[in-house]
Amino acid sequence: MYSEKVMEHFTNPRNVGEIPDADGIGEVGNPVCGDLMKIYIKVKDNVIEDIKFKTFGCGAAIATSSMVTEMVKGKTIDEALKVTNKAVAEALGGLPPVKMHCSNLAADALHAAIEDYKRKKERKDVAEQK
């Protein structure tokens, strides 16, 4: 049912945890399946220098969270925004159709964290101009 890569990221997830002073936090959930994801990013010079996640959910949800963090660590904000749910699933060697919604959550959580970062940065820039 699951690829070896999905099982590897589920049993040995990368970048698990929180970043206490995160520059952006994205939280998403799917009420139908009960999966919840929270992604934390630390950004320096427009590059994601650290990323961590906490996920409550099925094996596919944990694997997609782990994979999306690996895909964007060291990437620019613009590069990270191009990561799609389809790209996450492909990087894992595919997901069963019934689990594709899990990859949607991983990309959505990443994008929410980036949007949070951008909002905070904009507020900070405005405050510094005053």
The CA distance from 95 to 59, in Å, is 11
Residue 103: pLDDT band with limits 50, 70, 90: low
Q: CA nearest 26: which of 116, 118, 113, 103?
A: 113
pLDDT of residue 59: 87
- 58 is a catalytic site residue: no
- What digits encode the pLDDT tens for the residues 47-58? 999 999 999 988
d(CA 56, CA 125): 34
What does the pLDDT look like over 65-78, one tens digit per residue? 999 999 999 999 99
Q: How far apart are the C-alpha atoms of 64 and 48, rounded to whole Å? A: 18
Of 16, 25, 33, 47, catalytic: 33
Share of the chain above pLDDT 70, in %: 98
Whether pTM exceeds 0.95 = no
Return mean pLDDT, the chain. Answer: 92
For the chain, domains (ranges, CATH) are 4-121 (3.90.1010.10)
Q: How many CA within 13 A on the CB side of residue 58?
A: 16
Q: Which of the following is catalytic: 102, 107, 109, 110?
A: 102
pLDDT at 23: 97
CA gap 76, 59 in Å, rounded: 28
Active site residue 102: yes
In this prediction, residue 46 has a pLDDT band, given cuts at 50, 70 and 90, of very high
Tell me what the mean pLDDT of segment 25-54 comes to: 93
Cβ of 122: how many Cβ atoms within 10 Å? 10
pLDDT given for residue 102 in this prediction: 63
DSSP structure class, residue 76: B
Ramachandran category for residue 18: left, alpha or beta (phi over 0 → left; psi -120 to 50 → alpha): beta
